[in-house]
Structure 1
Amino acid sequence: MERTEIDTMRHIPIADFLARLGHEPVRRSGNELWYRAPYRNERTPSFRVNVTKQLWYDFGTGKGGDIFTLAGEFIQSGDFMEQVKFIAGTANIPMSVPEVSRPTFLPKPSEPAFEGVETAPLLRSPLTDYLAERGIPYAVASRYCCRLNYGVRGKRYFAVGFPNMAGGYEIRSRFFKGCVPLKDVSLVKAEGSPADVCSVFEGFMDFLSAATLGLETGDCLVLNSASNVEKAMKHLDGYGRINCYLDRDEAGRRTLDILGKRYGGRACDRSALYDGCKDLNEYLQLATKKEMDNNLKIKLK
């Protein structure tokens, strides 16, 4: 492939590339477009495209870059030639030769600038009201989460914070979903003697849901992103049984397959519990609503 073809791909607007793949922005703010991450399932848009710099950043995974690294996320490959092939096929650009060397320069990902990050106890507030709407009671949330105060571009914000193994935090509020770097898994150890069982969850809302439902037997590991499954293995290798409460979508099935190939029968799929729901938190929300409706019917009798 000639250099001019690589340059042509580099100048394809990322928004046009995503549109060809069937993904449209949810909102626009200045020169930034916000999407629901196109290569994983999420409810709250946390994928940003800077249309001026032609760079993307995924606040949910802590990854970012140019159109080539974005193609790599779609095909789950860091091989530059494979990324080029995917872009060429998507944009209908003919490839002249089968091989190409990787460019010596790639733009630095555009990263969020979190300023003045502070932690505080999670007291009753609009944050705990938000968690309650998702079926998480204050007693559970306050045990595992904190309030995270932080700034972005001179403005102050607050969110629910859930710590990970690298000293970073997964953060959630009614309006935002992201991560204060570094991105990593979270391991919650059971009290008392060492556990032989570990339960695995994709996100911390699912872990909090399990704690609410009384399912968190043994230790618990939260991936904080399906892309962190490789990081999780060094923590999971020593367990005799691994209970998997993963999302019932493509990313969840792929993660379960990876764990099954490594651990065989030690990796147990527990998602039948919430069959018909996307994840454990959705199941909890439906169960909570059903219980409230039943209680209301009793009161009205």
Structure 2
Amino acid sequence: MIGSQTIQSAKQVAIADYLAFRGFQPVSQHGQRLVYYSPFRQESTPSFWVNPAINRYKDFGSSETGDDVIRLVQRLNSVSFTQAVDELSRFAGLESKPGFSFSGPVHAPTAQATICSIKLLSNPHLIRYVESRKISYPTARRYCLEIYYQQGEKNLFALGFANQKGGYALRNGVGAKRNIGPAGYTLIDAPTAGSINVFEGVFDFLSALEYYGLQTPTFPTLVLNSTTNLESAFPLLESYQRVNAYLDNDTAGKATLERLSNNGLCVADRSRLYAEHKDFNAFWLERAAFHLPG
């Protein structure tokens, strides 16, 4: 038996947020209504409308009348009403539940970590964290998620950046970096071929977007998440004519740059842009603080 309060909380999940989580973005907007290609079928003309003001959708390609987010999840996942409410409750996140901490460092694992919930970025603590790195909320929300996880007896949460293997690079600003799930690099696709950008970490990548005033990268972009992932990335990098290397100005970054060059790749060292700083984010922090133009 599901409580009425749980049902009402599930209904408050924004349809647009849930669709974005599932990979569906609006193609246009008419007044207050967002227009999508239907998430239920392939179509050449978008026929799925969402009204965020009342959090209802209308699928003009079916005989179904307009409905709420619970019905949407039922149809998308082919599940019961109860299962849909449970899915939305997990999606809504666990920050309102007691015991989830943002105050401790994200240590290297001493116990197996288990993901409890993944949701779109909305937690005030994490938003303040990304903004402290001079990354705007819309930019961070496009690429990062909130990860709520349990390690031993501790309930923790952090910013998560998904990699190609289904794991996440975790960051919370108050401790060491770590991964949950399999470690690996992240590839962000882009329409312009020929060159590929390479960054060490997510905040360097996001800082470059802010610096160049972009929502998405111009070239395909590889974020290593750790220089230890470079070896597995070589087969991908070899398929491009040039590698634009936005690496750190430290020993590890210089060693990575040398390995790229020694592997026969045509490498453009973009770290000269921020030669007086450790990395792109440190460079962007200074420029943003003084409102300097790019």
Structure 1 residue aligned with 2:239: 238
Q: Distance in 2 between matches of 1:128 and 1:184?
A: 25
Question: Which residue of the partner structure matches residue 287 of structure 1?
Answer: 287
Call closer, same or farther: CA 1:111–1:183 in 2, change over 3 Å: farther
RMSD: 2.2
1:212-223 → structure 2 map (5 Å cutoff): 212-214=210-212, 216-223=217-224
Residues 1-301 of structure 1: pairs in structure 2 closer than 5 A = 59=108, 111-123=110-122, 125-176=124-175, 177-190=177-190, 193=191, 195-214=193-212, 216-264=217-265, 266-291=266-291
Corresponding position of 2:3: none
CA contact (8 A) 1:197 1:217 kept: no
Separation of aligned partners in 1, 2:127 and 2:117: 18
Contact 2:248–2:279 (CA under 8 A) maintained in structure 1:
yes
Q: TM-score, normalised by structure 1?
A: 0.58
Contact 2:197/2:244 (8 A) holds in 1:
yes
The separation in 2 between residues aligned to 1:112 and 1:169, in whole angstroms, is: 17
Instruction: Provide the TM-score with structure 2 as the length reference.
Output: 0.59
2-side partners of 1:112 and 1:181: how far apart?
Answer: 13
Letter in 2 for 1:135: K
Amino acid at match of 1:179: N
Deviation (angstroms), 1:112: 3.6
- State the distance in 2 between where 1:235 and 1:118 align: 31
CA 1:275–1:194: 2 relative to 1, 3 Å: closer
- Aligned equivalents of 1:157, 1:45: Cα separation in 2: 10
Aligned-pair distance for 1:167?
0.7
Partners of 2:196 and 2:225 in 1: CA distance: 16
Deviation >3 Å, runs of 4+ = none
Does structure 2 retain, via aligned residues, the 8 Å contact 1:199–1:217?
no
CA separation in 2, counterparts of 1:211 and 1:117? 30
Deviation at 1:272, TM superposition (A): 0.6
Unaligned runs of 5+ in 1: 1-43, 49-58, 60-109, 295-301
> How far does the alpha carbon of each residue in 1:248-280 deviate from its partner, in whole angstroms, 9 at most, with x for none?
01100000000011134x211000100110000
For the Cα contact (< 8 Å) 1:248–1:279, is it kept in 2?
yes
1:211 Cα shift?
1.4
Query: Contact 2:115 / 2:147 at 8 angstroms: preserved in 1?
Result: no
Q: Secondary structure at the match of 1:263?
A: coil
**How far apart are the structure 2 equivalents of 1:259 and 1:223?**
13
Distance 2:113 2:221 in 1: 28
Tell me the residue number matched to 2:17: none
How far 1:45 moved relative to its partner? Answer: 7.6
Q: Is the 8 A contact 1:200 1:244 kept in 2?
A: yes
Q: In the TM superposition, what is the alpha-carbon distance from 1:118 to its structure 2 partner? A: 1.9
For residues 5-52 of structure 1, give each alpha carbon's deviation from its aligned partner in whole angstroms, at most 9, with x where no partner exists. Answer: xxxxxxxxxxxxxxxxxxxxxxxxxxxxxxxxxxxxxxx987x7xxxx
Distance 1:128 1:263 in 2: 41
1:210 shift after superposition:
1.1
For 1:183, the aligned partner's letter is A
Identity of aligned residues (%): 35
Amino acid across the alignment from 1:136:
I
**Structure 1 position 124, deviation (Å):** 5.2
Q: Where do 5+ consecutive residues of structure 2 fail to align?
A: 1-103
* Offset, 1:217: 2.3
